[in-house]
Structure 1
Amino acid sequence: MDYEKLVADYKELFDKMKNPFTSTVDPEVEEMETYNGVEMQAIFRPYFAKYAYENYTPKENDVLLVTYPKCGTHWTAEILAELMYSKEKMEFWKSLMVMSVLESGPTIQKYEMLNQITTPNYLLSHQPAMNVNIEKYMKNKAKIVFVYRNPKDVAVSFFHFQKKVAPPQFRCDDWNEYVKMFMEFLPRSFCRKGETYLDHFLAWYQHRDHEQVLALCFEEMKLDPEKEIRKLSNFLGLDKSDDEINRVVDATSFNAMRQRQEEDSSTQINVVRKSINLVRKGIIGDWKNHFTVAQSEAMDRLVAEKTKGMDFKFIFSA
């Protein structure tokens, strides 16, 4: 695949993708505030979520990584890149953050460009299951990787993240106010009004038994990265040696990613990550430093209500 030619052929598009937070978009993109009632934020746009659902066609062995924000999205994306790509293709994909985001433009020409890439791609998305054309992915023999995390740590991580990136009118600096919204409805959080992370999780979790869908647990990935990365590699149909798996484990450790975020300015992804402290802690149980006993018990009741009748338990402690 000649990536230099691809960049040259789509020069205007690539120039726009260099500044995803400041580049202008067409008026119709700005005007569309929700898709199926789902609010979004930052570079994730309802207009492009709708366009991708209706028009984007994944190829066989393409991979879609779906998560709720702060469930290990960029960590798993790094793992996918290390498993799937040669050095040349990895550098190409890491050069521009928005290129791998399903519901981010900056124009519909991006989807035309993606169709020019003949080798398997991975894209990532925060969309709820109803906003992804799952039937199309299954029909075309593409694959979906879904990563989930315990809701208490998700709440803490999202709280710190939104203080960095949310516009003032949407930012919440008060933890007590924030955690109440998180358990009821958090604006611009990829959910419909009245829904929460748990609804987002359950809608994707119901697809876990499909042979083209792999559900990964953030905490299990942290506790035994070698085992879970091997599971992901096997799901992708890749024949990786133990040495190759161990290399990926080392390259995608939080310490390694944190170091690249802080010290490597050669790729746009690391520059953006550093500016918003995207790789923050990535630990299990940080919620204990934030939740009061009453808040923790309230979340436990909500989880019990939402998962009633399921043989399922979140992992809240290492």
Structure 2
Amino acid sequence: MEAFCFADCTKSFFSSQLSKRTKNFNMESPLQKMLPSDLYKDVMELGGDFSEESIKKTSGGEIPSWKGFRLMPPFTPELAKYAYDNWSLKEGEVLLASYPKTGTNWMMAILRRLLYSDEEINLMKQLPLTMGVLESGSVKKFNIIDRLPIKRRMMGTHLPAELINLERLKKENAKVVYVMRNPKDQLVSFYHFAKKLVSKNPAIGRFINDGWEAYLALKGSVQRLKCLRVLPSGTLPGEWYPHHLLSWYKHKDDKNFYFIYYEDLKKDFKKELRKLAKFLGMDITEEKVSEIEEKCSFGNMKQEISSYSNDMKMFQTVNLRKGEVGDWKNYFTVAQSERVDAKIKDCLGSTDVTFTYCL
């Protein structure tokens, strides 16, 4: 039953976008004007990565995994393994690592504003979604990425540290940024993300339509989260967000790694942005700091959705909800909150990770 719901959800969520994106590519699109004709042709061919046939191939049967870690299609073990063995970011380039719904979308926008020119940002907005995610798409995309007219590349991943070739990254002197968010707001955000998927596929409704209590399934353990049974994301069976965080946090003292809290950005964006820029080896003016703060505000990011390619537009629409700290208080009972606290302590109690639950 798990695999059936998982495959149906994924297929309905992505394949409905294929005809729209193919139609867009067949016209003279902004992307066509930005890239050489041979490179544009190769990018167009990546449209098949979201075809119904391709999604069935990657999501049918058992939930795909590598080294025991389960991956949610269109995230595939094949892409993760290929990247591990054959591809790497280079000196100064950035890998953004995160668990879903912890601020990935926001941090991606911030890093792009730091690293890219306006022309490079406009280019990235027009590329297929898979071009910005390490473990998604087809092997062909890595050749395309290496040919893009971008000086300092960035890639996102939801993989745990065990599935990333960290030795190669460090040898190349690439940078790793890991964004963290308090787990209660993460759970609420994931809940609403899953609810949005219901419109793409009613099958997921059986996990969401019974409401918050059923979603959390806290009668036993927070590790039994129903959303994780439908949408595993780089975790071993029975694991969730804090285990993913811990896999990366073991490297917190490495000079190539930087950890940033979502809530700290909300509290003092400019201060945190300056610290992030310093880690990336960038001089940043106060004018640039203010510009990035405005461009990466929640309101502006919502307004910019229409400027993206079709699948990126869909992705932004599904992911942008409130962007607040403390929304969990509108959902958790005291008992539920205390249980999550206990689970977080069990997993992260030996670390100095300190979450902020209210501002």
TM-score normalised over the length of structure 2 = 0.80
- Whole-Å Cα distance in 2 between the matches of residues 3 and 199 of structure 1? 42
1:10 partner SS: helix
The answer to whether structure 1 residue 110 and structure 2 residue 141 are counterparts is yes
The answer to whether structure 1 residue 81 and structure 2 residue 112 are counterparts is yes
- Aligned position for 1:203: 247
Worse overlay, 72-81 or 51-60: 51-60
2:304 partner SS: helix
- Whole-Å Cα distance in 1 between the matches of residues 202 and 266 of structure 2? 33
Q: CA deviation at 1:152?
A: 0.4
- Aligned position for 1:306: 347
2:54 partner SS: coil
- Aligned position for 1:184: 223
Mapping of residues 168-317 of structure 1, within 5 Å = 168-171=202-205, 172-173=207-208, 174-180=211-217, 183-185=222-224, 186-187=228-229, 188-261=232-305, 264-268=306-310, 271-273=313-315, 275-276=317-318, 278-317=319-358
The one-letter amino acid of 1:136's match is R
- Aligned position for 1:8: 37
The one-letter amino acid of 2:79's match is F
Q: CA deviation at 1:63?
A: 0.5
2:177 partner SS: strand
Distance 1:184 1:27, change over 3 A: closer
Q: CA deviation at 1:317?
A: 0.6
Mapping of residues 156-167 of structure 1, within 5 Å = 156-165=188-197, 167=201
- Note the residue ranges of structure 2 that are not aligned, 5 or more in a row: 1-30
1:25 partner SS: helix
- Does the CA-based 8 Å contact 1:147-1:218 persist in structure 2? yes
- Whole-Å Cα distance in 1 between the matches of residues 328 and 356 of structure 2? 12
Q: CA deviation at 1:64?
A: 0.4
TM-score normalised over the length of structure 1 = 0.90
- Note the residue ranges of structure 1 that are not aligned, 5 or more in a row: none
- Aligned position for 1:147: 179
- Does the CA-based 8 Å contact 2:95-2:175 persist in structure 1? yes
- Aligned position for 2:67: 36
- Aligned position for 1:58: 89
Distance 1:139 1:37, change over 3 A: same
Q: CA deviation at 1:281?
A: 0.6
- Does the CA-based 8 Å contact 1:7-1:14 persist in structure 2? no
Q: CA deviation at 1:15?
A: 1.7
- Does the CA-based 8 Å contact 1:29-1:47 persist in structure 2? no
Q: Tell me the number of residue pairs that the alignment of Structure 1 and Structure 2 aligns.
A: 313
- Whole-Å Cα distance in 2 between the matches of residues 304 and 122 of structure 1? 33
The one-letter amino acid of 2:72's match is Q
The one-letter amino acid of 2:156's match is L
- Does the CA-based 8 Å contact 2:159-2:233 persist in structure 1? no
The one-letter amino acid of 1:200's match is H
The one-letter amino acid of 1:77's match is M
1:124 partner SS: strand
Q: CA deviation at 1:292?
A: 1.2
Q: CA deviation at 1:169?
A: 4.5
